[in-house]
Amino acid sequence: MASHGARSRSGGRPTLEEVAARAGVGRGTVSRVINGSPRVSDATRAAVEAAVAELGYVPNTAARALAANRTDAIALVVPEPETRFFAEPYFSDMLRGVGAELSDTEMQLLLIFAGSDRERRRLAQYLAAHRVDGVLLVSVHADDPLPDLLAQLEIPAVISGPRSAAETLPSVDSDNYGGARSAVDHLLSRGRTHIAHITGRLDVYGAQRRVDGYRDALRDAGYPPDEGLIAPGDFTEEGGHRAMGELLARNPSLDAVFAGSDVMAAGARRALREAGRRLPEDVAMVGYDDSAIARHMDPPLTSVRQPIEEMGRRMLDLLLTEIADRRPAVSRGLERRQVVLATELVGRSSS
Amino acid sequence: MASHGARSRSGGRPTLEEVAARAGVGRGTVSRVINGSPRVSDATRAAVEAAVAELGYVPNTAARALAANRTDAIALVVPEPETRFFAEPYFSDMLRGVGAELSDTEMQLLLIFAGSDRERRRLAQYLAAHRVDGVLLVSVHADDPLPDLLAQLEIPAVISGPRSAAETLPSVDSDNYGGARSAVDHLLSRGRTHIAHITGRLDVYGAQRRVDGYRDALRDAGYPPDEGLIAPGDFTEEGGHRAMGELLARNPSLDAVFAGSDVMAAGARRALREAGRRLPEDVAMVGYDDSAIARHMDPPLTSVRQPIEEMGRRMLDLLLTEIADRRPAVSRGLERRQVVLATELVGRSSS
DNA sequence: ACTCGCCCGGACAGCGCTTTCAGGCCGCGA
DNA sequence: TCGCGGCCTGAAAGCGCTGTCCGGGCGAGT
């Protein structure tokens, strides 16, 4: 006690203790002011704030983390290689949404890639050390063990794109089903009658939902189910190209395609060109994602837009709630923690 | 003391103390094992490691940071808006290099954008709180106050692209001068005699050096200086377009252009097309950066490649050295902490 | 065999902050 | 006027780990 008074060591930053001395109060009081506790009189608060300003006091994060058992940091985990992260606007939009929402808080955002096995092991270590208060998980496949790890470690997490209808983690997703329906309805309204669908990877729940939406829209319009009009893609351009080839072979009279992603649409477009079909005269096309690819395609591609930035924001909201709720160990009911946002059809000349 | 034995609180993670108890040694000993101190017998070390494994012990970062006064984290600061970060492959390559080098260590990398005023204030707060052990600064303009702030806070930092010849911070750069020379020499070797240059923003030191390299290469080849062949650009496509226009107006007989960046080359290419000049028949062109733009230009652009990933790796090396050296407060001489890496001319059909 | 030196393990004092606890002071009601 | 209840504040106990300082044990030298 006598060994560390209010003297500031050379180059050292001021401590709570020094602020307290300067303001003529105790450490605890300063702490309360800093943390915005209401149990402090206005006069005292003002005095403390003055001292803080004069000394240029900045709290020591490590000490706070140790004492309060929290880190004030959350991680955005991308289970993909870095290259994909930079290639897909999806991630940067998401990041922007999260970042925007986060700038109102004192929280820090960590960006973590978990594409390789090595990176995943590192991440596991990282999470085990509880170096973040919560995790935002984007683009997770059905069989990914990450969510379970998080649950086991009791780390709050929010997932973008539930893994299944029975998703237990809080999640934010866009309305894949509705988006697909709107795409098909649009094509129908254009007078198209033979509408095919190129699916995404079916181990991604959202891709399944798009198929469901496609089927239901056709059924509701009086078209009997025809599995021959559905071809599996894998979200790649090459997959889209191949799928389109199959579809054309099976359905010569096909006059429209709903592709499960813009990238696949680009592949399909190539296949159509090779087959001598004109867009949109012979075959109309609608994509999904409304990415840059859609805008730059020739002709520009009608596509279903997802509010990705908004999704990022909502994910962060959910996560912060989750973290706050967990703090005093209140156990909440299984209220609705699955958010679904509406999509929007962006019409262009491909349809 | 009696208040916290080796009992693990419900859900709590094991502590050093518990590991020590299990291994039958003292806390300090376990700490030494964890930190790889040599002053521990093999038998003891084995016992401790076994205990660590059995308990699944993971050190508490906050406690360690507090006691050791370090964070084991460094920041990559990008003084640009996020959009530019994603748009320019420069940053992602840099990130990849740093990330690769970092994965051998226990250090954590933080990505921080400081494009807006608001973000910069946040960053200042962040640095003031000493939440990182060091900073990697990329793409800094001559008048940026960030380096000074870092110096004042005594935070180790490494800069990519020195601000001037008198840069005091450790830095890693590519050989802008040599790169420019190689570009001009290449054009000369192709038999071109009227070679113009579109510069980058001259408040970026690297852009100045490219101008120097351009001038010297021509001078050494026996061409007298001709300022009319130099037009200022600003690293944007529009700037390149405008500069090319000026150059053509001033020098009708011009037969080659060395552009200070690929983006400007794209703008210049547009101006050439508008003027009815063919590439490379009428005018040969060389760009700088060897970015995707160069590969996709029509015709593909010859460009000077910088080893960006390597630069990222070297920057991290320098920073870690810097951090390590500062720890025991050894003051080192002003040895060479400015690394310059060689560039490489990538030939394509534009020249 | 005895002593000196060396190496290893344990104890202890914090690192700076949060948070509980209890006491002091004031105001209000009786 | 006295007593009781509240609110505000100060004190103190850690949070889990690091790093220094000692003491003890063991091997080697004479």
For residue B61, give how far its alpha carbon lies from the nearest alpha carbon of chain A (Å): 7
Residue B350: inside a domain: no
**What is d(CA A304, CA A161) in angstroms, rounded to the nearest whole number?**
16
Q: Would you call B59 an interface residue with chain A, using a CB distance cutoff of 8 Å? A: yes
A296 shares its domain with A321: no
Three-state SS string across A300-315, please? CCEEEECCHHHHHHHH
Q: A131–B61: do the CB atoms touch at under 8 Å?
A: yes
Average pLDDT over residues A91-113: 91
B324 CB-to-strand D distance under 7 Å: no
| pLDDT grade for B89, boundaries at 50, 70 and 90 | confident
Q: Do you find a cis peptide bond into B170, omega within 30 degrees of 0?
A: no
Residue A8: inside a domain: no
Q: Chain A residue closest to B122 (CA)?
A: A103
Average pLDDT over residues A169-188: 97
Average pLDDT over residues B66-73: 91
| pLDDT grade for B333, boundaries at 50, 70 and 90 | very low
Beta strands in chain A, from DSSP E residues, in sequence order: 73-78, 108-113, 134-138, 157-160, 171-174, 195-199, 230-232, 256-259, 284-289, 302-305, 338-341, 344-346
Its domain, for residue A251, covers 176-305
Q: Are B183 and B198 in contact (CB under 8 A)?
A: no
Q: Which nucleotides of D are covered by protein (CB under 7 A)?
A: 7-20
- Compute the half-sphere exposure of residue A1: CA atoms within 13 Å on the CB side of its CA: 0
Q: Chain B residue closest to A130 (CA)?
A: B60
CATH number for the domain that contains residue A87:
3.40.50.2300
Going by C-alpha positions, the residue among A233, A174, A229, A173 that lies closest to residue A203 is A233
Which of B66, B128, B154 has the CB atom closest to A63's CB atom?
Answer: B66
CATH number for the domain that contains residue A38:
1.10.260.40
A272 shares its domain with A217: yes
| Residues of chain B found within 8 Å of residue A126, distances taken between Cβ atoms | 108
Q: Would you call B92 an interface residue with chain A, using a CB distance cutoff of 8 Å? A: yes
B206 shares its domain with B279: yes
Residue B185: inside a domain: yes
Rounded percentage of chain A residues whose pLDDT exceeds 70: 94
Instruction: Look at residue B12 in the predicted model and tell me its pLDDT.
Output: 67
Which tokens in the block code for residue B53?
Answer: 């494994």
Which of A11, A58, A111 has the CB atom closest to B128's CB atom?
Answer: A58
Alpha-carbon distances of B148 from A37, A85, B67, B152, rounded to whole Å:
36, 33, 28, 6
Residue B4: inside a domain: no
Instruction: Look at residue A252 in the predicted model and tell me its pLDDT.
Output: 94
The mean of the pLDDT values for chain A is 89
Q: Would you call A81 an interface residue with chain B, using a CB distance cutoff of 8 Å? A: no
| pLDDT grade for B270, boundaries at 50, 70 and 90 | very high
Question: Which nucleotide in the DNA or RNA is closest to residue B1, CA to C1'?
Answer: D14
Q: B61–A129: do the CB atoms touch at under 8 Å?
A: yes
A230 shares its domain with A334: no
A167 shares its domain with A183: no
Instruction: Look at residue A337 in the predicted model and tell me its pLDDT.
Output: 84
pLDDT score of A43 more than 70:
yes
Going by C-alpha positions, the residue among A95, A140, A92 that lies closest to residue A115 is A140
pLDDT score of B69 more than 60:
yes
* CA B21 to C1' D15, whole Å: 19
**What is d(CA A44, CA B227) in angstroms, rounded to the nearest whole number?**
67
Residue A67: inside a domain: no
A239 shares its domain with A200: yes
Question: Which nucleotide in the DNA or RNA is closest to residue A64, CA to C1'?
Answer: C17
Amino acid B8 reads S
Instruction: Look at residue B40 in the predicted model and tell me its pLDDT.
Output: 80
Instruction: Look at residue A24 in the predicted model and tell me its pLDDT.
Output: 87
pLDDT top residue among B34 and B344: B344
Question: Which nucleotide in the DNA or RNA is closest to residue A32, CA to C1'?
Answer: C18
pLDDT tens-digit readout, A232-282: 999 888 999 999 999 999 999 999 999 999 999 999 999 999 999 999 999
| pLDDT grade for B9, boundaries at 50, 70 and 90 | very low
Q: A82–B96: do the CB atoms touch at under 8 Å?
A: yes
**What is d(CA B207, CA B261) in angstroms, rounded to the nearest whole number?**
9
Residue B222: inside a domain: yes
Q: Would you call A113 an interface residue with chain B, using a CB distance cutoff of 8 Å? A: yes
B314 shares its domain with B268: no
A195 shares its domain with A301: yes
Other CB atoms within 10 A of residue B268 CB: 30
A166 shares its domain with A315: yes
Residue B187: inside a domain: yes
B220 shares its domain with B131: no
Rounded percentage of chain B residues whose pLDDT exceeds 70: 94
* CA B19 to C1' C24, whole Å: 44
pLDDT score of B3 more than 60:
no
pLDDT tens-digit readout, A200-227: 999 899 999 999 999 999 999 999 999 9
Q: A128–B56: do the CB atoms touch at under 8 Å?
A: yes
The mean of the pLDDT values for chain B is 89
Q: Give the best-scoring range by mean pLDDT among B154-168, B273-287, B311-325.
A: B273-287
Instruction: Look at residue B220 in the predicted model and tell me its pLDDT.
Output: 97
pLDDT tens-digit readout, B115-137: 899 999 999 989 999 999 999 99
B223 shares its domain with B295: yes
* Residue A290 region by backbone torsions, left for phi larger than 0, else alpha for psi between -120 and 50, else beta: left
Which backbone phi and psi does B14 adopt, to 5 degrees? -65, 145
**What is d(CA A94, CA A316) in angstroms, rounded to the nearest whole number?**
10
Instruction: Look at residue B335 in the predicted model and tell me its pLDDT.
Output: 57
Amino acid A61 reads T
pLDDT tens-digit readout, A324-347: 887 644 445 455 688 999 999 999
Average pLDDT over residues A284-303: 91
Average pLDDT over residues A305-329: 87
Structural domain total, chain B: 3
Instruction: Look at residue A139 in the predicted model and tell me its pLDDT.
Output: 83
Mutation pick from A57, A86, A154 vs chain B, by most beta carbons of B within 10 Å, is A86
**What is d(CA B38, CA B42) in angstroms, rounded to the nearest whole number?**
9
Q: Are B200 and B264 in contact (CB under 8 A)?
A: yes
Residue B3: inside a domain: no
Q: A154–B11: do the CB atoms touch at under 8 Å?
A: yes
B291 shares its domain with B320: no
| pLDDT grade for A90, boundaries at 50, 70 and 90 | confident
Amino acid B229 reads L
